[in-house]
Chain A
């Protein structure tokens, strides 16, 4: 069974940093691009970032460029998202998802990890 399990969320002060992780199992991780999607409390889904299967190409939402860094370790089947200079607006559930077709099918989602930015 294909599974994704996020971790690393928590309460952080404005201006702080956080590294989210997503552990994949049940599929050949390196064969698939991966993506992060977030959802602020009571709001809709927002695409954050994506990375190719090899990790050589990375993509970010225009509004988030500069503070977010996506990476992956194919030897450990792990996806990561580094978030710096956190703002209150970054408060959200962060989901990782497996990309079957670039820009399209996200067929496996994790349960999400919650990031709360507050003093």
Chain B
């Protein structure tokens, strides 16, 4: 099963907004609302930022938001800050406990 498709990189200036897309198929993203987003600064473990498409865990700034349309999910970060610079991964349920991750997107804050 191929990874979900994410753009390799996105960038934005402080204060701007960026959106990272995550494209799957009707067997994963399109079938389930169990899409999550993880942030991974270099050399650290992933951190949950969005779960079940659009929900934020406690402590995650409301600058982070998620959505889904059809087979594509999106993560939007508004009011970019230098600390947001990291790799971002989406994931989706594919059935029977299995999970598929995206290839990852490197966010650069200019």
B46 pairs with A103, CB closer than 8 A: no
B residues less than 8 Å from A52 (CB atoms): 97
For the complex of A and B, 9 pairs with smallest distance between CB atoms: A103-B93, A104-B34, A59-B97, A105-B51, A44-B104, A47-B99, A109-B45, A45-B101, A50-B97
Q: Which of A57-104 contact B (CB under 8 A)?
A: 57, 59, 61-62, 95, 100-104
B103 within 8 A of A: yes
Report, as a range, how many residues of chain A touch the other chain: 20 to 34
Given contacts A44-B3, A44-B102, A47-B101, contact A59 B96 (CB under 8 A): yes
Interface string of B29-60 (1 = CB under 8 A from A): 00010111010100001111001100001000
B97 pairs with A33, CB closer than 8 A: yes
A1 within 8 A of B: no
Residue from A46, A103, A106 whose CB has the most chain B CB atoms within 10 Å: A103
What residues make up the interface of B, taking CB atoms closer than 8 Å to A?
Answer: 1, 3, 32, 34-36, 38, 40, 45-48, 51-52, 57, 89, 91-104
Name the residue of chain A whose CB is nearest to the CB of B33: A104
B89 pairs with A45, CB closer than 8 A: yes
A residues less than 8 Å from B35 (CB atoms): 104
B residues less than 8 Å from A50 (CB atoms): 97-99
Given contacts A45-B104, A47-B99, contact A105 B48 (CB under 8 A): yes
Given contacts A44-B3, A112-B45, contact A104 B93 (CB under 8 A): yes
**Nearest Cβ in chain A — how far from B4, in angstroms?**
10
Given contacts A45-B89, A101-B52, A104-B34, contact A109 B47 (CB under 8 A): yes
**Nearest Cβ in chain B — how far from A72, in angstroms?**
14
Contact of A111 among B45, B48, B95 (CB under 8 A): B45
A residues less than 8 Å from B103 (CB atoms): 44
Name the residue of chain B whose CB is nearest to the CB of A105: B51
